[in-house]
Amino acid sequence: MVKSKYPRGSEWRKWDLHIHTPASFHWNGSRFNSNPCTPENAALVDEMIHTMNAAEPAVFAIMDYWTFDGWFALKHRLTQEGAPKLEKTVFPGIELRLVAPMDGRLNAHVLFSNEIDDQVLRDFRTALNVALIDRPLSDYSLKCLARHVGEDLLRQKGFSKADVDSVDDTALKAGSTIAEISCESYKQAIRNVPNRMALGFMPFNTNDGLADVNWQEHYAYVLGLFDTSPIFETRTPDLWAAFAAVETDTNKKWISDFQRALGNVPRLAVSGSDAHRFTGEPGNNDRRGYGDYPSGKATWIKANPTFEGLKQAIKEPAKRSFIGSIPPKRQLVSENRSRFIDKLEVRKSDAAPLSDTWLDQTALHLNHDLVAIIGNKGSGKSALADIAALLGNSKQSHHFSFLKENRFRGKTGEPARHFNAKITWGDEEELEKNLNENPATENVELVKYIPQGHFEELCNAHVSGQSNAFEKELRSVIFSHADDSIRLGAHDFDQLIEQQESSLRSQLESYRSELHKINKQMAFVESQMTDDARKILEELLAQKQRLLEEQIKVEPEEIPEPTSELTAEQKKVSEQLTTISQELEKLQQQQELNQQEIAKLAAKKKACKNIKTGFEIVKRAVSQFTSEFSSDANILGLNVENLVNVEINEKAISDFESASNTRYHELKDNQLSLNAQKLSLSEKKAPLSAQLNAPQQAFQQYKEQLKVWEEKKTLLLGTKDEPDSLEGVKHRKAQLDQLPIQRQELHEQRLGLTRKVFNVLDEQKANREALFAPVQSLIQNNALIRDEYKLQFRAELTSTTDQVSNKLFAIVKQESGAFKGKSESLSAMKELMDKYDLDNVNSLINFVQELYQKLEDASKNPVGIASLLRKDRTANEVYDLIFDLDYLEPRYTLMFQDAQIGQLSPGQRGALLLIFYLLVDKGNTPIILDQPEENLDNETIVSLLVPVLTEAKKNRQIIMVTHNPNLAVVCDAEQIIHCEFDRTNGHNITYTPGAIECSIINKKVVDVLEGTMPAFDNRRVKYM
């Protein structure tokens, strides 16, 4: 199989496209004699070869004035035995001067393919017309010109008329100094060279360049040379950018006019050494040697060091050329070698019983920019991506399409377990794995692998709310852009949020605790507003009234106090009984007073206990404050314990509690004493009563019965504060009429708390929005993301239908109203949530109220939702869910071209993720993309995917598997790896790497496209 000479593809190399040789008449040093191929010139040519090999540039172009002799001498010497080996690429070229409307003379160059035939070069030279004498360019014509011009011009150029007429070498030098070529013959001669093997190369603002011609007066002349010159020479960065169609702050005012003059076709701008000696003098800018660029303005070209590579750079000058000390990407690689994959290898185990080759002996050196893996279906593209992901410890191994059980790993690991793969990083660090193993979960991820399945998984799960994986990716990127002033020592996003939002979470807990209490009250109130509750009270009231009526009916019949005179003895007994009754009444009153005090003491003891519990809450709060804010206090140079001074007087409560306990026990003892006294008096009363006469005994008995009856009646009547008494039941019944007002007040209170909860959540959201300000700033500074894709990070308070429905319908039944039936319930909930903006407080309150109303409408109860509840569930659970907004949370999302991620097509979602990973993600590890063009139409591929990949490869290595080779072409991939799978020859998978400009790779691309020649000329695609 034919392999590319440059398998790593297009790489940055220095090119010096403007050097001279000893054949040039301005040469500083020993010169060739008249015949460049004579043996006498061999030593000079060898010195030239050694100098080129030792110099930094990989490519040189010989630009001798008026002649190709330097090229012929080099080419001839390289065919001779014993000649040094030339390790660099050298192109033939020629430097001329054109007739031009300017004070001086206009320099012009032509650069030729190093594969051009010598005769074509000779023909080119003779096609040039020497002005004044109207002859083809030749040494003879240059001599004729010198002898044709006047003596004054010769003297002005430093020559004597007599010497010119008599000495051929002097005449040749004078002619070379004076000669000018007609512009038309120059342009036509270039056009006549076959197979585009000649390139016009015009100095612009270097010595005697086109910038010296007055554009306004000679516009057609300048445009004519623009049209025939794909290469210009300049050492000015802004002009390089203007030629390459790259807008900068300093050229933005005039670049559009400049490009219009170029026909809106960018040009390659280079800076050559213009060396007239082999080796320069260090520090002397006027004595430059090969590869000594003026003022360090070196030319770098990212292409194969071939003529085809040069033509590819001409097609994409902005991407493939640079003037300066070192291209930014090359600098990035040199400073971060451990972030770039240098080589992938696969070997079959020596002891493997397999005869099939599969991936054995695979060894690929990877380009550090964009690597495109192409090939027909089933050719081994995904194998390479999976292996790179495996060796990079990707967390996406479950998305492997080649290294999986039903393919290369089989059911028992066959044949994968017989193969080992090795990755070599740019810093020469190596890692080896068997192809039947997956990365361990604890391994650090060294690559970002984005298979097609991962795109769909992240997007769909994010939209449905089933997974927060995409949000985790967003959080990670946001945190990566936050500087130390934002991170404040946090190690990841979650820790940062924990630090920022602890006080807000405390507020949320407080508000939700209040809501919980109100919802319990609401549920109770609603339970009392039912017909059953009213009926129970009415029946209870009727029962109490009947009991009262029955009590009135059994009032003891009145017995008047006897009027007959008592004996002295009876009178004494009567007085004793009266005294006993009075004593008993006093004792009873004292016991009631004692009981009242005991009740008050019980309340006080409970209050003490509550206060002591409160003390513990305060202590924990202070301890939590000290723990949470000690680091903040340290930053301020303060002692956190000095910031909060809470004095807790536990002794006051303890003393009060002790005194209450003492008094409680005194009262209990006193009650026992009073009971004993009452018993003693009652025992004395019976024998005394027996000593009275019958009327007196009857009267005493009546008084006792009346007292007991009145006590029962009083107990039945009770007060409004005694809920089971007649008056208490009447009061409860009267309260039923006030319940709607009380319920409305509770509802207003909880709506107010819901607003407060929302405001805290909104503050959380605002805090999180502040976190992605650095990322948004990056977006604003990137015109591609800002203007074309309109990419925006957003934090929003949001929820999903499933989040609300799953919780709600676990508490309530789906049997009536708007929420009847499982699918109908979900549809109704989705419709309701789509109706409102949950990120707006007023809209959110309307959503909460309508959801609450729909549930109440579906209930069979006149008020409340009791009939909807599942077994062992309560109404306040539903109210907690609806009103405490636990289903609402600040979430990050992305906006793409003014649409939310949920509104995008699968292709747009994939494109959005690509933009996110490639342009916004600050990670600098290699990215492996599997079929990024999936679900994208051709227009989107060109308008979106191509610019994104072009921008992203500036900062990291990208390995892309694609079914569409044209994607590799229009993205100007630096390396294309073509895959082939020969199933008839040991299941042999082979990879052919190289650059787009390589003819071998050209053919492979065409083969994959089944013979359809792709648009290799990106310029035509972009600028037609």
Angle at Cα 277 formed by Cα 204 and Cα 304, nearest 5°? Answer: 60
Contact 547/725 with Cβ under 8 angstroms? no
**Mean pLDDT calculated for residue range 550-558:** 83
Burial class (CB in 10 A: 0-12, 13-18, 19+), 107: buried
Q: Considering the chain, what is the average pLDDT of its residues?
A: 87
Judge whether 213 and 119 are in contact, CB under 8 Å.
Answer: no
pLDDT of 1020 above 50:
no
* pLDDT band, very low/low/confident/very high, at 1013 (cuts 50, 70, 90): low
Whether the per-residue pLDDT at 746 is higher than 60: the answer is yes
Between 816 and 1011, the higher pLDDT residue? 816
Task: Inform me whether the pLDDT recorded for 487 exceeds 80.
Answer: no
* Of 137-146, 782-791, 858-867, minimum mean pLDDT range: 782-791
Please check the confidence at residue 723 and state whether its pLDDT lies above 90: no
| Beta carbons of 106 and 208 less than 8 angstroms apart | yes
- The residues, ordered by sequence, that sit 6+ positions from 690 with a Cβ below 8 Å of its Cβ are 697
Which range among 29-38, 140-149, 796-805, 1004-1013 shows the weakest confidence by mean pLDDT?
1004-1013
**Facing residues of 299 across strands?**
323
Specify the higher pLDDT residue, 591 or 69.
Answer: 69
What's the pLDDT tens digit per position in 47-62? 999 999 999 999 999 9
What does the pLDDT look like over 289-314, one tens digit per residue? Answer: 999 998 889 999 999 999 999 999 99
User: Topology of 344-437+925-1023 in CATH?
Assistant: Rossmann fold (3.40.50)
Confidence (pLDDT) at 913: 73
pLDDT of 9 > 60? The answer is yes
Looking at residue 456, its pLDDT comes to 66
A 10 A CB-CB count for 887 gives 19
Q: What is the mean pLDDT of residues 341-361?
A: 92
Q: What is the pLDDT of residues 237-262, one digit of tens each?
A: 899 999 999 999 899 899 999 999 99
Lowest mean pLDDT among 175-189, 367-381, 393-407, 711-725: 711-725
Q: Where are the domains of the chain?
A: 13-119+196-326, 344-437+925-1023, 498-517+740-896, 532-733
Q: pLDDT tens-digit profile of 62-121?
A: 999 999 999 999 999 999 999 999 999 999 999 999 999 988 889 999 999 999 999 999
Determine the longest span between alpha carbons in the chain, in angstroms.
Answer: 189
User: Phi/psi at 113 (nearest 5 deg)?
Assistant: -65, 145
Question: Once rounded to an integer, what is the mean pLDDT over residues 43-50?
Answer: 96
Over residues 701-705, the mean pLDDT reads 78
Q: What is the CATH number of domain 13-119+196-326?
A: 3.20.20
Mean pLDDT of all residues in 855-861: 89
pLDDT, tens only, 624-683: 788 878 877 888 888 888 888 888 898 898 998 899 899 989 988 998 998 898 888 878
Give the pLDDT mean for 579-605. 85
Residue carrying the six token digits 């939209």 = 463
Q: Which of 94, 98, 92, 62 is nearest to 225 (CA)?
A: 98
- What are the C-alpha distances in Å from 226 to residues 97, 182, 231, 232, 243? 16, 16, 9, 9, 11
Band the pLDDT of 137: cuts 50, 70, 90.
very high
Tokens in use for 654?
């303890």
Give me 94's structure tokens: 């020629």
Q: Which residues contact 568 (CB under 8 A, 6 or more apart)?
A: none
Query: Nearest-CA neighbor of 147 among 165, 167, 168?
Result: 165
pLDDT the model gives residue 1019: 40
Output the pLDDT for position 1024.
Answer: 28
Q: How many residues belong to the chain?
A: 1024
Helical segments of 149-275, H only: 151-156, 161-166, 168-178, 183-192, 219-227, 237-243, 255-261
- Which pairing describes strands 370-375 and 975-982: parallel, antiparallel, or unpaired? parallel
- % of residues, the chain, pLDDT over 70: 94
Least confident residue range of 132-141, 189-198, 714-723: 714-723
Quick check: 232 and 203 in contact, CB under 8 A?
yes
Fold classification of 532-733 is Helix Hairpins (1.10.287)
In this prediction, residue 483 carries a pLDDT of 73
Residue type, 528: Q
User: Can you tell me the distance from the alpha carbon of 574 to that of 570, in angstroms, rounded to the nearest whole number?
Assistant: 6
Say what angle helices 493-528 and 739-771 make with each other, to 10 degrees. Answer: 170
247 phi, psi to nearest 5 deg: -80, 135
Secondary structure (H, E, C), 693-741: CHHHHHHHHHHHHHHHHHHHHHHHHCCCCCCCCHHHHHHHHHHHCCHHH
Task: Tell me: pLDDT of 393 over 50.
Answer: yes
pLDDT digits (tens, 9 = 90+) for 885-920: 999 988 777 777 777 766 777 666 667 777 777 777
Which of 467-471, 850-854, 1019-1023 has the least mean pLDDT? Answer: 1019-1023
pLDDT tens-digit map of 750-764: 999 999 999 999 998
The CA–CA distances, whole Å, from 1003 to 2, 313, 473, 886, 965 equal 11, 19, 40, 61, 11
CA geometry: angle at 264 spanning 263 and 265, to 5°? 90
Q: 439-481, pLDDT tens digit by residue? A: 888 888 899 898 877 766 666 665 565 656 666 777 777 777 7
Alpha-carbon separation of residue 505 from 500, 512, 626, 699, 750 (angstroms): 10, 10, 17, 75, 18
The tens digit of pLDDT for each residue in 408-432 reads 998 888 999 999 999 999 999 999 9
Helix intervals (H) in 1-138: 42-54, 69-78, 118-126
For 672, phi then psi, to 5°, come to -65, -40
Lowest mean pLDDT among 80-94, 183-197, 346-360: 346-360
